[in-house]
Amino acid sequence: MSQEEHKAHAPASVACYVLSVSDSRTEQTDTGGRTIRELLEGAGHTVVGHAIVKDDPHAVTLHVEGQLLTPDVQVIITTGGTGITSRDGTFEAIDGLLEKRLEGFGELFRMLSYQEIGAAAMMSRATAGTAMRSQAIPGPARPKAIFVLPGAPEAVQLAMTKLILPELGHVVQQLNR
């Protein structure tokens, strides 16, 4: 089946959960999370929930694990905590949950970022992959896609418009095969 045929069978609307990771953002100042939600809804997708959690790997892991248990969530998108400072722990929190990694997402994101901000793009640890709730929990389990984005609104805009939105339905279609 060609890429076009795959996309023709992809859902037009995907149920997404948005998680902002920050020690300083509030509902009013969470521009990254708000941008993700607005872009998803503008593209016809559904935001089934969103939250802000402190930049603490354990807290991030627990929150994402909770969304893996939520049946109506198909995709989890996080923003923030992907840099290299001592407080940036989102990559570690999510990387430990991923079963399959979409290495190309991070590579393409950094390539596109390099075109906009230069060599500083190498400090982003944006990543993506798939995860599933524990098999120990009864009931059917479906894998979910997780995208881990930086917190800067410009980076969020870039990842969403150039990478995630063009392939979101296709990603979910492939996960359900």
Cα(25)–Cα(28) distance, integer angstroms: 8
In this predicted structure, what is the pLDDT of residue 140?
A: 61
In this predicted structure, what is the pLDDT of residue 27?
A: 86
Q: Hey, what domains does the chain have and what are their CATH numbers?
A: 15-132+141-175 (3.40.980.10)
Cα(163)–Cα(102) distance, integer angstroms: 12
**H or E element, residue 90:** helix 90-95
Q: Which of helix, strand or coil describes residue 15? A: strand
In this predicted structure, what is the pLDDT of residue 1?
A: 63
In this predicted structure, what is the pLDDT of residue 28?
A: 86
88-113 burial by CB neighbour count: b if 16+ within 10 A, else e?
bbbbebbeebeeeebeebbebbbebb
In this predicted structure, what is the pLDDT of residue 142?
A: 81
Nearest to 166 by CA among 30, 27, 40, 18: 40
In this predicted structure, what is the pLDDT of residue 161?
A: 98
In this predicted structure, what is the pLDDT of residue 57?
A: 93
Tokens encoding 80:
């923030």
The predicted model scores a pTM of 0.93
Q: pLDDT 10s per residue in the chain (177 long)?
A: 667 766 777 888 999 999 999 988 888 889 999 999 999 999 999 999 999 999 999 999 999 999 999 999 999 999 998 989 888 899 999 999 999 999 999 999 999 999 999 999 999 999 999 998 665 555 566 899 999 999 999 999 999 999 999 999 999 999 988
